[in-house]
Amino acid sequence: MLKKSGLLAGAVAALMLASAGAVADNKVKVGVVLTMSGGAAQFGQQILRGAKLYLQDHPESLGGHEIELIIRDSKRPGGDIAKTVTQELITREGVDILTGYVFSPNAMSIAPLITQSKTPTVIMNAGTAWIPSMSPYFARVSFTMWQAGYNMGLYAAGSLGAKTAAVGYTDYPPGKDSLNAFKTGFEAAGGTIVDAIPMGGPREVPDFTPWFQRVKDAKPDVFFVFVPAGNHATAVMKTYDELGMAAAGVRLIGPGDITQDTKLQGMGDAAIGLITIHHYSADYDTPANRAFVKSWKATYGADTTPDFMGVAGWDGMAAITTVIRELDGKIDGDKAMAILRGWSFADSPRGPISIDPETRDIIQNEQIHKVVKRADGTLGIEVIGQILNVKDPCKELKIGKCAN
């Protein structure tokens, strides 16, 4: 029997390690941190469905590599659980890439962790403008509160002819950001803000009645509302309807978070005519979106619909698979960020998008949405205007924390 020399045995062991490494290299670990329980579970489900659908429909996008999604529940918006599970994903699971993050405080809480570990992180929702500035390892594929809010301010004063506005916002970073965004645009176009009302936190859906009554009494031309979509949006519409605010001459406007596709059918006729600004609706009549919605319904059920969170999951996975392909499955934080900076995707269901190489934030079209009643009696979104290639206005104008 051939006796291996010490040297040969060492070489064989090294070879085995190398091939074991090569196998392991094929599998890219992606940590996905989303709200998967409680009232915000619907957001985690939307985003995950979008991300998984992209992988299902584009198996070739991985360039022959395998992807493992390691999913963790961030539960609430406060940031503490998101930080704990992200730490665990980095240190124990050894993830190559992080993604998800519905609520702004959750994304904010992990900035030092991803900087220290150089983990590329693709934000799929959290919209407070300056989040990507908190770590060079953030890139955002969702939106910034300013893209809709600032443009809604300009549009309300310029095109809707509003002279006065009240603002109601959920009292946490993206809500305050939305107030600043709308105010900056509205005042720049000659409007006056008559009231700005913090309306509770993001976790529990509050009773909006006292705040809405206060606005009804003040009778501004428009009432700009930001709430973090979901059950909050449904409650906003219900309260607006119950108080008869439309008949009283107060026009409700906001970002598309308040007319989320998944919530639209439950809003009733009070929503008809509502104007919002956003970057996505399932009703967009483009080949890319028709194909996306068709695949979504075929996969998840005819009575389901994607919304702006679902499309961020889809687009985020398009970005992540680009990184995996281009780095041939060997993820290096700095090389991954170099790919994400300037990444563009012409075929997103929302239209062409790209990541600004300087800010690592999304550049996308914003659409003026009008809620209409379709021939079959359901509610739909009609696009009545468009603002092309919108960079985050907060960073463009260098306002507040966006100045850094």
Residues that bind ligand PHB (CB under 6 A): 102-104, 125-128, 174, 228-229, 257
Amino acid in position 240: Y
How far apart CA 256 and CA 365 sit, in angstroms, is 13
Minimum separation from the CB atom of position 217 to ligand PHB (A): 28
Cβ closer to ligand PHB: 126 or 324? 126
C-beta closer to ligand PHB: residue 31 or 127: 127
> Is the Cβ of residue 221 or residue 261 nearer to ligand PHB in the bound state?
261
Q: What is the DSSP letter of 60?
A: G
**At closest approach, how far in Å is the CB of 89 from ligand PHB?**
20
Judged by beta carbon, residue 97 or residue 108, the one nearer ligand PHB is 108
Q: Shortest approach of ligand PHB to residue 149 CB, angstroms?
A: 11
Question: Minimal CB distance to ligand PHB: which residue?
Answer: 228
CA–centroid distance for 269 within its chain? 27
Q: How far is the CB of 311 from ligand PHB (least distance, A)?
A: 13
Any residues with CB less than 8 A from the CB of 265 and at least 6 apart, and which?
378, 379
Q: Nearer Cβ to ligand PHB, position 44 or 191?
A: 44
Pick 237 or 331: Cβ nearer ligand PHB: 237
CB-nearer residue toward ligand PHB: 162 or 282: 282
DSSP string spanning 123-191? ESS---TTGGGG-TTEEE-S--HHHHHHHHHHHHHHTS---EEEEEE-SSHHHHHHHHHHHHHHHHTT-
CA distances from 94 to 21, 31, 102, 167 (A): 14, 9, 22, 44
Nearest distance in Å: CB 147, ligand PHB: 11
d(CA 404, CA 133): 8
**Which CB atom, from 78 or from 352, has the smaller least distance to ligand PHB?**
78
Secondary structure letter of residue 203 according to DSSP:
S
DSSP string, 238-305: HHHHHTTTTTTT-EEEEEGGGG-HHHHGGG-GGGTT-EEEES--TT--SHHHHHHHHHHHHHH-TT--
Give min distance, CB of 21 to ligand PHB, in A: 39
**Shortest Å, Cβ 145 to ligand PHB:** 7
Closest separation in Å from C-beta 116 to ligand PHB = 23
3-state helix, strand, coil in the chain (%, to 5): 45, 20, 30
Of 266, 308, 287, 374, which is closest to residue 124 (Cα–Cα)?
Answer: 308
